[in-house]
Homo-oligomer: A and B are copies of this chain.
Amino acid sequence: MTDAATNMRLKLPITCFILEIILIILFGTLVQYDHETDAKQWHNQSHEDYENDFYFRYPSFQDVHVMIFIGFGFLMTFLQRYGFSSVGFNFLIAAFALQWATLMQGFFHGLHGGKIHIGVESMINADFCTGSVLISFGAVLGKTSPVQLLVMAMFEVTLFAVNEFILLSILGTRDAGGSMTIHTFGAYFGLMVTRVLYRPNLDKSKHRNCSVYHSDLFAMIGTIYLWMFWPSFNSAITAHGDDQHRTAMNTYYSLAACTLSTYGMSALTAHDGKLDMVHIQNAALAGGVAVGTAGEMMLTPFGSMIVGFLAGVISVLGFKYLSPILEDKLKIQDTCGVHNLHGMPGVLGAIVGAVTAALASTDVYGGGLSDVFPDVASGDVTATKQGGIQAASLAVTLGIALLGGLIVGFILKLPIFGAPPDTICFEDSIYWEVSYELIFIRVEFSTSTF
């Protein structure tokens, strides 16, 4: 299975080295420690060590980090012959994206005298942006070369930062857990890319586009880690104190409710009442996506559970009925079903966030209103208007994601990136040295028995 077109001997090293050298040069000229990581600045000020933001956010950061590298990486190992690529390309593009995101987000979110200041909060934001790229990766999984993925990551990170800047800095949108900025953006960007990269003959690789027993168990490692650490994800960059605490708790209950509705819907819709691993691996996570915006608000566990329950229902229905339609009618080949896990639940989360924001009041939030809705607390906007801004932000996000995905899709179509042919998609051995047990077994058999 070696082919000049897909040979990475030069393409991948050149891409990696050029990108990393550019990153290093830009870091050297633009990036500085912030006042909490710089030895001199931290010691110039008067404070206690436990006031350093590291102690408020680093445990959450590490949970998010696990979601990005283990969660996303292993979730995608469900394909029988694509485990190396799932974990390995996830690893590669995430390592690139988090560096590039540091620059792009720093560039947009506030230069300090022409310099980007970084610390644990920027690390979390870089991981968040990376998460969005990995969602898009799920849509094109198995059909792209590592060079294509790096190119996609470069453009997507940039557009992510633009969208995030418009929402958070210009419009004043609240989206701590990223229902819009991360999930909706990543999903619709990826769906548009995979639409542009449509492969009419993909059914020639159909026999590899499914799971086997052990690959599904590996994927469950990813699922469970995403599920467990989602409370940390949604609360990682909310305000200190009650905000982080409340956000984590709302997410915890949303996910629990979502899990029950997912199991129920999976048995209800599946053949012979048997549970479908695809649903469990994915839809059970939709509850985390759907409280990404409203999780920091006074949504209450009760509200979170309703949202989580609905997210699970929608997501399973999407896998069962909508995905086949998207593929047949709209020619969207969505390998991991990111529309069902990130797309629709992300939109749901944006709507829930808009409604919850519109209902905010000092009665409910007290002095905490300024943490969650600073513009409402300061009187700059009414709660209703904040709700409107939230809703408008969803439209902006969808627009940038779809348009960006369209353009980037066409760039990725250039026949220079070593994409696999239709006949060898979902196959590790095209980009990896692989020794399959299968071959070993067959040889063993034919020599020892006959």
Contact = CB atoms under 8 A, between A and B. Distances in A.
Interface of A: 2, 7-17, 19-20, 23-24, 27-28, 31-33, 36-44, 49-56, 58-59, 62-63, 65-66, 69-70, 73-74, 77, 80, 83-84, 87-88, 91-92, 95-96, 98-99, 102, 118-120, 123, 146, 210-214, 216-218, 220-221, 224-225, 227-229, 231-232, 240-246, 248-249, 252-253, 255-257, 259-261, 263-265, 267-268, 270-277, 280, 284, 298, 300-302, 305-306, 309, 364-369, 371-372, 429, 431-438, 440-442, 444-446, 449
Contact of A27 (B55, B95, B220, B305): B305
B50 A56 contact: yes
Contact of A368 (B40, B70, B260): B40
B95 A9 contact: no
Contact of A69 (B224, B246, B275, B277): B224
A364 B33 CA distance: 12
Identical copies of this chain, number? 3
Give the residue among A43, A58, A213, A309 with the most B Cβ atoms within 10 A: A213
Minimum-distance CB pairs A-B, first 9: A39-B368, A40-B366, A9-B273, A43-B367, A16-B264, A95-B259, A42-B242, A49-B240, A49-B241
A212 B59 contact: no
A84 B277 contact: yes
A98 to B, nearest CB: 6
A274 B433 contact: yes
A288 to B, nearest CB: 12
B38 A252 contact: no
Contacts of A302: 24, 27-28, 31
A395 to B, nearest CB: 28
Given A13-B265, A245-B53, A123 B252 contact: yes
A83 B268 contact: no
A257 B23 contact: yes
Contacts of A102: 301
Given A44-B366, A300-B33, A438-B444, A59 B59 contact: yes
A133 to B, nearest CB: 14
B242 A43 contact: yes
A390 to B, nearest CB: 18
A26 B204 CA distance: 52
A8 B273 contact: yes
Contact of A24 (B41, B232, B306): B306
